[in-house]
Amino acid sequence: MPQAVAPVVNAFFDPVTWTITYVVRAPGASACVVIDPVLNYDRRNGRVSTGSIDAVCDFVKTHGLSVAWVMDTHVHADHMTGLAEMARRTGAKTAIGGNVTVVQKTFAGLYNLPGFPCDGSQFDRLLEDGDQIQVDGLCVTALHVPGHTPACMAYHIGDAVFVGDTLFMPDFGTARCDFPGGDAATLYRSTRRLLELPPDTRMFVGHDYGPGGRDIAWETSVAAQKATNIHARDGISEAEFVTMRQSRDATLEMPELLLPSLQVNIRAGNLPEPESNGTRYLKFPLRR
């Protein structure tokens, strides 16, 4: 079997949302893909900004690269996606898992968005399990890994896999499953699917929080996850995982940026249209 290409991976860490954005390309290639870009949002003053996107675009320009695709691993609940802004700046196409339509239907109802198209048409391509995208010497294979959300995709590229929130660094474990459409048993099966990849597969995670004060990290391996992941290492059964995950999720607070982020992210990162006064508004459901 021929050895898988080892893509060149450059990571950009957003310290506000603990998110890692990736620029991925084949060695010597001029075209790349960008995974999980961040649109910055300050909830105190309602201001969006593009510092994280600027850093990625500056890197792309400096290295003479073109961006072919901008891809989200899922509909993020803890930051706004930079998908649309990155695509506008670079001419790239946008992609996400096909089950984004399920997420859109859920949150179009929550935000009372009559007439909102819940067909994924905001994205250039909806990916199904096993779909492939060819980019200048790279083959990006979509792996459906639901459980955190119904639409989660990992992207297997050569000897690397980009797993979004499905798995974190081994000392932090796995994603929560208490968002609408999440399911702990489903997540367990998704983690096992990822851990069936070759042991030397490089694994790049979507967030890191530096538990215990260690330095921020984003690259591990299938072998390391199988041996030491605190939630999903070899030997942990599905029943044990589900009990742990459900118990842990019951103690977690909702992400601070969930309400502003989701209504933007189901639009592929496009902000709501301006109203008659020229201002854009986000909506927040109130509860007693």
pLDDT digits (tens, 9 = 90+) for 96-114: 999 999 999 999 999 999 9
Nearest to 125 by CA among 95, 155, 103: 95
Let me know the angle formed at the C-alpha of 11 by 5 and 16, rounded to the nearest 5 degrees: 155
Residue with tokens 């048993």: 185
The CATH number of 8-254, from 3.60.15.10, 3.40.50.2300, 3.90.105.10, 3.40.50.12280, is 3.60.15.10
pLDDT in the model for residue 288: 77
Does residue 229 contact residue 170 with C-beta atoms inside 8 Å?
yes
CA 107 vs. chain centroid, Å, equals: 18
Residue with tokens 């399920």: 102
- pTM reported for the whole predicted model: 0.96
Nearest to 122 by CA among 147, 138, 98: 98
**Phi, psi angles (nearest 5°) of residue 136:** 45, 60
pLDDT in the model for residue 3: 58
Where do the structural domains in the chain lie, given as residue ranges?
A: 8-254
* In the predicted structure, residue 4 carries a pLDDT above the cut 90: no
Query: The tokens of 128 are what?
Result: 């199904």
| pLDDT tens profile 134-187 | 999 999 999 999 999 999 999 999 999 999 999 999 999 999 999 999 999 999
* Burial status of residue 19 (CB atoms within 10 A of its CB: 0-12, 13-18, 19 or more): buried
User: What stretches of the chain show up as alpha helix (H) in DSSP?
Assistant: 51-62, 83-90, 100-110, 184-194, 222-228, 238-249, 258-265
Which DSSP state fits 211? G
